[in-house]
Amino acid sequence: MSNYKKTYVTLSSIVVFMFFFSYMLVPLYDIFCEITGLNGKTNQERIVDLNEKPTNRFVTIKFTSTVAGAGPFDFEPLEREMVVEVGKVYTTSYILTNQSNSLKQVTASPSVVPGAEAEYFKKIECFCFTQQEINGLETKELPLQFIIDDKLSSDTNTLILSYTMFNTTDQLGAK
Amino acid sequence: MSTNVQDIHEDHHHTPSGLMRWITTTNHKDIGSLYLWFSLLMFFVGGFMALIIRAELFEPGLQLVVPGFFNQMTTMHALIMIFGAVMPAFVGLANWQIPIMIGAPDMALPRLNNWSFWILPFAFTMLLSTLFFDSGGPAAGWTLYPPLSLQGGNSMPFVILSIHLLGISSILGAINVIATILNMRAPGMTLMKMPIFIWTWLITAFLLIAAMPVLAGAITMLLTDRFFGTSFFTASGGGDPVMFQHIFWFFGHPEVYILILPAFGIVSTIIPAFSRKKLFGYDSMVYATASIALLSFIVWAHHMFTVGMPLAGEIFFMLTTMLIAVPTGIKVFNWVATMWRGSMTFETPMLFALAFIILFTIGGFSGLMLAMTPADFQYHDTYFVVAHFHYVLVPGAVFAIIAAVYYWLPKWTGKMYSESLGKLHFWLTTIFVNLTFFPMHFVGLAGMPRRIPDYPVQFADFNAIASVGAFGFGLSQLLFIYILYNTLKRDVTAEDKVWDGAEGLEWTLSSPPPYHSFEKAPRVE
């Protein structure tokens, strides 16, 4: 009979393991993307030790924006395009207007194209790090400070930074 | 079906009669029959949905249904055919055949067996009930990709719970299969002497217990994203919708082989029987099946070449996918080599098995085309994909199941089916299945997207042909029901060894087999 028991225990533990493995895939996938810079995931870490190394190499950065769903927002980059020197710090911003009458909470999620170069787009100051609150009919300037790492591949001369603005007011009520 | 068998064993069996007999049964043959009848019912429910889809697509424009309902039909058709028709049919065949092929009295876990079947009617009642909701059934496709699936109506938690139940049912069934095969074989039947159908089911069962929990995890994450504020896939909380596709297809690709490996086993059983030769390359068949199963875990992203993966990923998944053609090619070669210079006859099961080899190989070739990343960018989400997976699932998996039913039906019932009606069923089915799915290759290559209720007029002719084929195919299956009915009513008894070229322990039993299949374990030399 112990043979049977061994079979059941082994098989059931495979099932349990695989269920949790599906959850483990989430961090594994994130770690994999972080290491390789795939999937356009930008560095969500704030850069602290800042060392500017101007390289006299110039690339174009394009800024785009999207409002997710039918959020009552106007969300646009201040500058649509910048030519920046690799290894130097630049500052720009996005303009967010709440077109409704009530307090809203929002989160922006960044994405960089081409994805393989995303890790070299380093953000020093970014409104994407935190949840923002915005009063009804208020207009806010959301600053962004960044530096392009000199490890950026020499084939790349244009990077696109895109932000999607999400309305997370539901989570405000939940708190 | 086997009431007379039960009577013989009345002395030591006090089973309830009527409906309670089927509800309380722990007998592998009863449960096998329940699974098979249930899957036949679901085959018709899912087929009816397919006919709604094909009726709408008969001509351009919107005629019969609104687009939202059309999307519910494509979603439900897939869920029902995969989880309701093909998978339960294979489990039913496993229940009937495994004990009588390995010389065991019953399955290892009879009560669990009963439970894993009786979960299914509840799961499908819940799934189908969503069609009557105000917000309708699920309409985001059976793959349930977020963010669309998270935005669906109230059906979503019902669909997820019913998929959970289906998963539990399959996992329990798989555990039962493995426990039976590993522990209850007749003395002398070493692993490499097992019938090939048993081998393919053993490997399938391992795929099931490894893959189904991953699906359970993925849909649980969807559920918590929607109702409990987690952000696995919602971008506003830092989640990533593409991650769902990775997790889903990590389950989904092994699932594809869950749907086809038992079919390989069936064809590898039938071809030798009607060629009157031993299966060519038994060992290589076993190793090929195992390597297909292993490879299935590292090829998942070929379903999502267009999500923006890096070049290295696309090349990796392209090459591993193409590698699967090697063991599959070995199988097709072995089937052909088995027939080579055999004394072949063409009874109905053999006809379906032969059609399987030819038509499944067509589906395999279109799969190779889709595996090529640059080509897939063109084919992705077109009718070419629809043609591909219907070729491997309908004249693949479904033909194998029908072949198995014709092959073992005389053994199960003790009655012989009508050969001429069987052949008629085969020819109608084969002609219409090609009429339905072959034109889809052409409209797909010309750029017709899948999952749409309307299309530009240049696709009209081929779609009309496909719709005619689909109705012909569906109506031909009514003949199958009649053949089953006719077999049970007929007065033509089947011999114990129904097919003179067949080999295996099941043919040493009476037709139909006794209630406890092998009360004394046979010895295998």
pLDDT bin (cut points 50, 70, 90) of residue B426 is very high
| Chain B residues whose beta carbon lies within 8 Å of the beta carbon of residue A39 | 240, 242, 308-309
Between A4 and A129, the higher pLDDT residue: A4
Residues A21 and A50 in one domain: no
Calpha distance B251→B295 (Å, rounded): 13
CATH of domain B3-508: 1.20.210.10
In chain B, % of residues over pLDDT 70: 97
Least confident segment among A39-43, A139-143, B296-300: A39-43
Q: Nearest-CA distance from A49 to chain B in Å?
A: 25
Catalytic residue among B145, B201, B257, B407: B257
Nearest to A144 by CA among A165, A159, A129: A129
Q: Are residues A77 and A93 in the same domain?
A: yes
Report the alpha-carbon distance of residue B307 to residue B182 in Å, rounded.
42
- Least Cα distance to B480 among B409, B386, B375 occurs for B409
Cβ–Cβ below 8 Å for B247 and A174: no
Identify the pLDDT of residue B8: 47
Q: Give the pLDDT of residue A37.
A: 57
Mean pLDDT of chain B: 93
- The verdict on A68 and A3 lying in the same domain is no
The dihedral through the CA atoms of B279, B284, B290, B291 has a sign that is: negative
Q: Which residue of B has its CA nearest to A30?
A: B243
A82 with A145, same domain: the answer is yes
- The pLDDT value recorded for residue B2 is 42
Q: Does residue B277 carry a pLDDT above 50?
A: yes
Question: Tens digits of per-residue pLDDT, A66-104?
Answer: 888 777 899 999 999 999 999 888 999 999 999 988 888
ipTM: 0.84
B454 catalytic per annotation = no
Q: A162-166, B233-237, B282-286, B417-421: which has the minimum mean pLDDT?
A: B233-237
**Does B11 score more than 50 pLDDT?**
no
Q: Pairing state of beta strands A104-113 and A121-126?
A: unpaired
Q: Determine whether B331 is an active site residue.
A: yes
How close does chain A come to B25, measured CA to CA in Å? Answer: 22
Contacts of B455 (CB under 8 A, 6+ apart): B57, B60, B443, B448, B449, B463
Contacts of A28 (CB under 8 A, 6+ apart): none
Chain B residues within an 8 Å CB radius of A22: 213-218, 221, 247, 250-251
Which pLDDT score is estimated for B6? 45
**Are B378 and B433 within 8 A, CB to CB?**
no
Q: Do B217 and A168 make contact, defined as CB atoms within 8 angstroms?
A: no
Domain enclosing residue A144, as ranges: 41-174
Element (H, E) at B411: helix B399-413
Structure-block tokens of residue B411: 């053994």
Distance CA B232, CA B229 (A): 9
Q: pLDDT digits over A118-168, tens only?
A: 878 888 878 776 788 888 888 989 988 888 888 888 888 999 999 888 888
A34 has pLDDT over 60: yes
Q: What does the domain layout of chain B look like in residue ranges?
A: 3-508
Task: Please state, in angstroms and rounded to a whole number, the distance separating the CA atoms of residues B47 and B78.
Answer: 10
- Would you place residue B4 in the very low, low, confident or very high pLDDT band (cuts 50, 70, 90)? very low
Contacts of B171 in chain A (CB under 8 A): 15
Any chain A CB within 8 A of the CB of B210?
yes
- Has residue A1 got a pLDDT over 60? no
Instruction: Inform me whether the C-beta atom of residue B250 falls under 8 Å from chain A C-beta atoms.
Output: yes
If asked whether residues A29 and A81 sit together in one domain, one would say no
- Is the pLDDT assigned to residue B459 strictly greater than 70? yes
For chain A, the domain total comes to 2
Please give the angle made by the CA atoms of B80, B356 and B271, to the nearest 5 degrees: 125
The answer to whether A167 contacts B236, with C-beta atoms less than 8 Å apart, is yes
Tell me which of A5, A16, A19 to substitute to probe the interface with B (most B C-beta atoms closer than 10 Å): A19
| B490 DSSP 8-state letter | -
Distance from C-alpha of B438 to C-alpha of B473, rounded to nearest angstrom: 13
CB < 8 Å & 24+ apart, contacts of B342-346 = B342/B275, B342/B276, B342/B277, B343/B275, B343/B276, B343/B277, B343/B501, B344/B274, B344/B275, B344/B276, B345/B274, B346/B274
Question: B210 vs A18: CB contact, 8 Å cut-off?
Answer: yes
* Gap between the terminal Cα atoms of chain A: 54
* pLDDT of the residue at B3: 45
Q: What is the pLDDT of residue A171?
A: 65
A107: β partners: A166
pLDDT of res. A42: 59
Q: Do A7 and B237 touch (CB under 8 A)?
A: no
pLDDT 10s digits, B20-66: 889 999 999 999 999 999 999 999 999 999 999 999 999 999 999 99
Q: pLDDT at position A44, please?
A: 60
CATH number at residue A132: 2.60.370.10
Looking at residue A110, its pLDDT comes to 85
Q: How far does the CA of residue B93 sit from the closest CA of chain A (Å)?
A: 21
Check whether residue A102 and residue A131 sit in a common domain. Answer: yes
Under 8 Å between Cβ of B205 and B170: no
Residues of B in contact with A21 (CB under 8 A): 213-214, 217
Q: pLDDT at position B513, please?
A: 93
Q: Hey, what are B65's tokens?
A: 């249904």
Distance from CA of A10 to the nearest CA of B (A): 10
Same domain, A30 and A46: no
**Set of chain B residues whose Cβ sits within 8 Å of the Cβ of A172:** none
Q: Catalytic residue among B28, B54, B302, B425, which?
A: B302
Q: What is the pLDDT of residue A112?
A: 86
Among B54, B96, B116, B142, the active-site one is: B142
- B236/A168 touch (CB, cutoff 8 Å), yes or no: yes
